Structure 1
Amino acid sequence: MKKLLKLIGKYKIFLGFSVIFAAISVVLQLYVPVLFGDAIDEVVAAHQVNFDMMWYYLRQILVFIVISALATWFMNLLNNRMTYRIVQDIRSQAIRHIQVLPLSYLDQHSTGDIVSRVIADTDILSDGLLLGFTQLFSGIVTIVVTLIFMFSKNVWVTLLVIVLTPFSFVVAKFISSRSYTMFRKQSETRGRQTALIEEMIGGQKVVKAFGYEKESSRRFDEINKELQTYSQKAVFYSSLTNPSTRFVNNIIYAGVALLGAFLIPGGMLTVGGLSVLLSYANQYMKPFNDISSVITEMQNALACADRIFDLLEQKEETPDVDGTFKSVDGTVQIEDVAFSYDKEKKLIENFDLDVKPGMRIAIVGPTGCGKTTFINLLMRFYDVDAGRILVDGKDIREVPRHTLRSSFGMVLQDTWIKSGTVRDNICFGKPDATDEEIIRAAKEARSWEFIRRLPKGLDTALHEDSISQGQKQLLCITRVMLCLPPMLILDEATSSIDTRTELQVQEAFDKLMKGRTSFIVAHRLSTIRNASLILVMKDGKIIEQGNHEELLKKGGFYHKLYHSQFES
């Protein structure tokens, strides 16, 4: 709640006016019983009714009810505006925060769970906030003003109500603490369910290809049953709150009626006064009943808020420092670098490398040897545990990440296409590119052939499955061809392209790599014969290095790797 109040603080004007309208509405509603009591007291005895005064009071009641209704409408309007703007802020903050989270957090948490926090949990939070604001403002004003009116009528009856009130809190606290735990588990399980759905739908072809449908359904049923159990328990515990507090409140109501009945004969209270106090006793207890009746939504909202704040409070990646490259010539030095994802399991140790401008560095080795990890360190997706990496003589930790990454053009084995036009996807790194520049880059990357055949050419809207994997990779290559960065990173950049097109793209890459420092991760060793230096990695270490001919003559690990690809 404290964290939510900080977010609400931005909307103090909405909050202030909402409280004012709540006060107007409640005060007028609470004054109505006084007028009813006065009207009742105008019935003095049989055939002795002051009709003029009675109608006067009834007219006032009508006016007050109309004004109170308008004030309530304005209060709800402000609460709606405030709630949805707060939720908008939370979502915007969450997306911005995800952009600065270290990749280690994103690697360790499923996409579905993060999406569930940003979308589903904030939706539930908005529902709870809306109910909370509506009940809270009017509730607080109702309690305070009711007590003032009650004290003005009779001190003893009011004190009885105050003394008995804490019992209602004790009951509500006992039950709500248990329901909160269930709602927290419900929210976590919903996140796991969303992650599984996203995983199975995204990989549906693999699911069908390996006949995994039944196992997929079984896993979903398990999580679904778990969600059902937590949801039922959460609703069961929270639904006990309202009848329990109403039971306590009815005892208070009976106590007011009993004490008031004893006070009337002694002249300390009139019949009209007792009717007013009974009405106020109801009004006083109404906020507690209202809050307890929506406790399900409130507890659910707070449990979801907990998960949202857990995401928002995750430690950001180390902040950038001020700095830049004067001119990137492509010199890269790696000095005694050590790194591991899990500190218990060492991966890269004592890694040293000196790369001169324009060199083509090929990195080969068995799966899991640290090739892609090296690229992650070079791009500063992860920071080294020890040692340092220098570009143009400057430690990459002393350069803003954006400046560093804009110096590299990267094409990965994993392709990524955003929802948008072909033009949007190609111009990702150069938004101001002209059509002439885009077409030139597309022709060099051999993607123009399929782009021009699309219904609207460069303006064709794309989504994840609208083009083939090979075509996606060609678009990713086109992005790099358009930017013409001073250094290149190619991680299995042509793995999804047919052999003929690969040869053509390789020619384009050869032209692009002239004069540019390039790092090439490859499994097909035939593609790296022309590399200036080949690094052979195993278990996070460089075990061999040299050009293609030198390594073959050594007859070592590279020799075995190379010939294993051509053995029958």
Structure 2
Amino acid sequence: MASSEESNQPEIPDIEDAPVQGNEFSRIMKIYKRKWTFILAIFFSMCSGIAPQLMNVFFGDLLNAVSKPNFSKKDLNGAIINLMIITVVVIALLVINHAFRSQTNPEFMHDLREAIYSHILRMDISFFDKTSTGVLISRLSQDATLLFNIYIDKILTVALSITQAAGGLILSYITMWQVALPATVFVILCTVSYYIGDRVVTKLWEEFAQHSSKATSKAEEVITSFRTIRSFDNEMYETQQYGKVLDDVDAIFSKTSIAQGLKDSVILFFTNLMLPVFIGLGSYFIVEKPEMGYVSGDLVILLLSLLFATTGFTIVLSLSDDFKKARASAAKILKLLDLEPEVDQEKSGKKLKKDFVFQGKVEFRDVGFKYKTRDEWAVRHLSFTVEPGETVALIGESGCGKSTTLQLLQRFYEISEGQILIDDMDISKINPQDLRSMISVVPQGPVLFSMSIKDNIRYANPRATEEEVHKCAEIGNAHDFIMEMPDNYASRVQQTSLSGGQKQRICISRAILANTPILLLDEATAALDTESEQLVQQSLENFRKGKTAILVAHRLATVINADRIIVYKDGHVEEVGTHQELMEKGGLYSELVKFQLQ
């Protein structure tokens, strides 16, 4: 029995409000199961960053061999062989790096999405009441993809670029430090210029994206509302309004293009200035300071090393904004993963023995419940009993707690007050999975999955044979129309046009296959036409025999044959009896019936 409402209904945090903590990367990487692959990928990325510097050295040696006044063929052949060997090594490193990178990418995406997906499926129904589907899909798709692109792909790029930049600087100092020292200033200026320009351009592109989104939204609004626009002859007005939106897009695009051009021009200026300046400076030391021992090959090594250093630092800085976005996405994912369900569906409650048999007695004892998203009570002081094999109808005005009752019986929510018992056992003491294995539900809106009709029916029991599926479909009045389809039971639901009645009969066939002692029907025929309702009612009559059935309904034809009718008012039981007894009483039920007949 619940002691208080507050203890059973903690507030659900908003998973969109997720501040960055600073430890996102380390926590996300704990999800990755095959970390050794990632570590090897980083190692070979770093090797791939060092490899070009080795090629520079051997290429410089080749030039030095050729530039000697009395170079020998032996020296030349040796330099060529060395260059060929290092080229093969570099290619091998690049291939290995690509192989590990290709292996790491899908593995990380698989592990991350699986962790998010499995955690979402562990959450309580109340979590889904407050959290929009779009937010959860965004965690699974956009945020997971962004983390994959940044935390795996871009980190490997950073590992390569940092190694390449550091190796380039070190090699330039080893080769000709007198030129490398002033060249470092150029590298820093070039890198900082790129970083500043990139930040400005990025902000402008974000502003451009916002204006483009407004233009798209305006076009979508006009196209979807075209009948209204045409009825008022407002085509010209809407064209003018759309033109104004496009003017804003054009203006920001012009600013962005100018900023992009300036950024590229500055980088080109430093890059192009660096070559003649340091070629001249290096040549000076070679020609005018021969005692230093520098030769032309050293100058080539220096210039290529500086070029690699500049490129590496530029790439690293250009990714800074991407890593900020990744940390924000990681924070959102981690906040979702930090949420714990109120009830652990696997471990909570007592597991029942495999040979345990439910009789199907249901009892509500002074039950009270509030949804976390609402202030008012959904049900309060709710008490009634359903005997094994009895069919009971719940009836009342909309919002009086009928459907809530069925959800509480399935333990989709934890009650705030009272007890719910099945066969005199408190359902809070029963494992939720064992509890729901004894209950079949036919909802108002038929829920079918994008798979074959046979697999939709077998969803209740994947081990069911073809014969069992066909038998349940016959009881559910679905077999005949299924056999008229081109692929019969193999017909895919998403490719098949099914009526509401046909979909509902497939759902009933699925519930029949589950073969549980308790059946819950939540407005199962409310959205059907008369003919479809009759077929579904017949299916339910065939199925209900010998089972405890609780049905929620508005239509008189659905409830009139129930063993008992429980009339709800404001979340509690107002009247109980058969149709005849309640009509003779002249209370709320008779008023509802008279209103419906009118």
Q: Same fold (TM over 0.5)?
A: yes
1:84 matched residue in structure 2: 106
Deviation, structure 1 residue 429:
1.0
Equivalent pairs, count:
543
Query: For 1:550 and 1:252, how far apart are their aligned partners in 2?
Result: 99
- Asked if the contact 2:387–2:548 (Cα under 8 Å) also holds between the matched residues in 1, the reply is yes
Q: Which residues of 2 match residues 125-274 of structure 1 at below 5 A?
A: 125-128=147-150, 131-153=153-175, 168=191, 172=195, 176=199, 179=202, 267=291, 270-272=294-296, 273-274=298-299
1:14 to 2:67 alignment: no
- Asked if the contact 1:551–1:559 (Cα under 8 Å) also holds between the matched residues in 2, the reply is yes
- Asked if the contact 2:151–2:326 (Cα under 8 Å) also holds between the matched residues in 1, the reply is yes
- Asked if the contact 1:337–1:348 (Cα under 8 Å) also holds between the matched residues in 2, the reply is no
Q: 1:95 to 1:232 in 2, by over 3 A?
A: farther
Moved more, 485-494 or 393-402: 393-402
User: For residues 170-202 of structure 1, what are the alpha-carbon distances to aligned partners after superposition, in whole Å with 9 as ceiling and x for unaligned?
Assistant: 973895599499879979x99xx99xx9xx9xx
2:306 matched residue in structure 1: 281
Deviation, structure 1 residue 348:
2.0
- Asked if the contact 1:362–1:519 (Cα under 8 Å) also holds between the matched residues in 2, the reply is yes
- Asked if the contact 2:359–2:423 (Cα under 8 Å) also holds between the matched residues in 1, the reply is yes
Moved more, 260-269 or 441-450: 260-269
| Residue 511 of structure 2, aligned match among 461, 480, 487 | 480
Query: For 1:254 and 1:342, how far apart are their aligned partners in 2?
Result: 71
Q: Secondary structure at the match of 1:318?
A: coil
More RCO (CA 8 Å, sep 6+):
2
TM-score under structure 1 length normalisation: 0.79
Query: For 2:206 and 2:96, how far apart are their aligned partners in 1?
Result: 32
Query: For 1:98 and 1:181, how far apart are their aligned partners in 2?
Result: 36
- Asked if the contact 2:395–2:566 (Cα under 8 Å) also holds between the matched residues in 1, the reply is yes
Q: Which runs of 5+ in 1 are unaligned?
A: 201-206
Q: 1:177 to 1:89 in 2, by over 3 A?
A: farther
1:32 matched residue in structure 2: 55
Aligned AA (1:323)? K
Moved more, 277-286 or 120-129: 120-129
Deviation, structure 1 residue 465:
4.9
1:100 to 2:122 alignment: yes
1:519 to 2:544 alignment: no
| Residue 346 of structure 1, aligned match among 362, 376, 381 | 376
- Asked if the contact 1:164–1:252 (Cα under 8 Å) also holds between the matched residues in 2, the reply is yes
Using the aligned pairs only, state the percent identity: 26
Moved more, 242-251 or 361-370: 242-251
Query: For 2:411 and 2:34, how far apart are their aligned partners in 1?
Result: 39
User: For residues 291-333 of structure 1, what are the alpha-carbon distances to aligned partners after superposition, in whole Å with 9 as ceiling and x for unaligned?
Assistant: 4566787777666656555554554453131413443222323
Deviation, structure 1 residue 261:
7.2
Query: For 1:443 and 1:164, how far apart are their aligned partners in 2?
Result: 82
TM-score under structure 2 length normalisation: 0.75
User: For residues 342-395 of structure 1, what are the alpha-carbon distances to aligned partners after superposition, in whole Å with 9 as ceiling and x for unaligned?
Assistant: 455213242322314223332112222222222222212222234332223333
Q: Secondary structure at the match of 1:463?
A: helix
Moved more, 278-287 or 100-109: 100-109
1:545 to 2:568 alignment: no
Q: Which runs of 5+ in 2 are unaligned?
A: 1-23, 232-237
- Asked if the contact 2:392–2:550 (Cα under 8 Å) also holds between the matched residues in 1, the reply is yes
2:434 matched residue in structure 1: 403
Q: Secondary structure at the match of 1:530?
A: coil
Aligned AA (1:11)? R
Give the aligned CA root-mean-square deviation in angstroms. 4.5
Q: Which residues of 2 match residues 358-397 of structure 1 at below 5 A?
A: 358=388, 359-397=390-428
Aligned AA (1:289)? T
Q: Secondary structure at the match of 1:329?
A: coil
User: For residues 114-143 of structure 1, what are the alpha-carbon distances to aligned partners after superposition, in whole Å with 9 as ceiling and x for unaligned?
Assistant: 445434554555455664155223223323
- Asked if the contact 1:361–1:518 (Cα under 8 Å) also holds between the matched residues in 2, the reply is yes
Query: For 1:243 and 1:338, how far apart are their aligned partners in 2?
Result: 71
